[in-house]
Amino acid sequence: MERARGQTLSGEVRKDKVLGVLRDAGKRLGSTVLISLAMKVQADPFVKVKELIQKLIERLVSESTAEATKKGFCDLELSKAEKNRNHRWADVQRLSAQLSSLEAKEDELEEELAELAKSLKELNVALKEATKLRAESKEENLQTLKDAKEGLDAVSEALLVLKVFYKRAAKAKVFLQASPVDEDDPGAADGAYNGAQQSANAVLGLLEVIVSDFSRTIKNTRAQEEDEAAEFVEFDRTSKADIGGKETKTELDKQDLKSTKTSLKEKMKDMKTNMDLVDKALEELEDLKPVCIDTGMSYEERVEKREEEIEALQKSLCILDTDGVEADCKE
């Protein structure tokens, strides 16, 4: 606007031009501030109009500064609250994964301990039964050996006695057959020894078979005892090693299960704490929403509208600047 031409305008004309500017800008921007000011300008005298416009400009500038400060505050606080929420939620997810892993481990250890207990019971029962059977078998084998040795000794002794007897009897028969006495009574010598001599080989053969049977029994029983003893020693050693290993594993699993249960308890406490922190972070965001999250115009849109309002007011102020004192008014 040119000041020379502007200075020739009367106060009412200037006032009317200001009203036009304010009404047009108010309608275009949907600004209740400008429309309300236009109504006041229409009712107030010329001198007061300039003062109203100046105060409104100052108010809008102050609001702009305050809103910029508020935006900085809101951006900072919202960012902090969102980061805190995300961080806490990440902790919750991490703890949830750890809890799932610990619960799975707890189930696995409890199942393994149950299997170990069952296996140990079966192994101990089997070892006890095998030990009992081994003792019974050993006792039976020893008794068989004792009986066989006693029988062998008795039969061997009898065989020896009979062999000596028959040997002497045979010599005696030969002697009697050659004796002159036998010539008078030949039937006497033959009746005393012939029958015994004929059965000697059969009796001795039977006894020798019995001796052989006893010897074989002793040999077989000893071999059986050695085999059974060796098998039992192997079974006993293997079973005890297996039992020892499973008992050690059971003890380790019990310690691991105890540690796992303790960790689960601690992680559950941590989970509750972090869930409370997540809830708190969400509450902080909810508290900031009414102040910082505008559901209407965006911050940029409000800034643009306010700048246009100030521009309209500044234009109106220039129209009223009859003395050319406004630095922002162009020639």
CATH number of the domain encompassing residue 133:
1.10.287
Range of the domain at 121: 103-288
Q: Could you tell me if 297 and 305 are in contact, meaning their C-beta atoms sit under 8 angstroms apart?
A: yes
Containing H/E element for 150? helix 46-178
The conformation of residue 91, written as its DSSP 8-state character, comes to H
What does the pLDDT average to over 193-199? 54
Q: Could you tell me if 268 and 99 are in contact, meaning their C-beta atoms sit under 8 angstroms apart?
A: yes
What does the pLDDT average to over 95-101? 93
319 burial via Cβ count (<10 Å: 0-12, 13-18, 19+): buried
**Side chain identity at residue 122, one-letter code:** E
Answer yes or no: is pLDDT of 22 > 60. yes
Q: What pLDDT is recorded for position 219?
A: 95
Q: Which two tokens stand for residue 160?
A: 């020896």
Buried b or exposed e, range 234-253, using 16+ CB within 10 angstroms: eeeeebeeebeebeeebeeb
Please report whether residue 230 resides in a domain: yes
Please report whether residue 255 resides in a domain: yes
Count of domains observed in the chain: 1
Please report whether residue 76 resides in a domain: no
Give dist(CA 133, CA 135) in Å, integer.
5
Give dist(CA 254, CA 245) in Å, integer.
14
> What residues have CB less than 8 Å from 178, skipping those under 6 apart?
none
Please report whether residue 139 resides in a domain: yes
Answer yes or no: is pLDDT of 222 > 60. yes
pLDDT tens digits, 24-75 = 877 777 777 777 777 766 666 555 677 777 777 777 777 777 666 667 767 7
Please report whether residue 174 resides in a domain: yes
Please report whether residue 173 resides in a domain: yes
Say what the pTM is: 0.54
More confident residue, 322 or 153: 153
Closest Cα partner for 65 from 294, 314, 285, 310?
Answer: 310
pLDDT tens digits, 141-188 = 999 999 999 999 999 998 888 888 888 877 765 555 544 544 445 444
Answer yes or no: is pLDDT of 270 > 70. yes
Please report whether residue 158 resides in a domain: yes
Containing H/E element for 191? helix 186-292
Q: What pLDDT is recorded for position 4?
A: 39
Please report whether residue 164 resides in a domain: yes
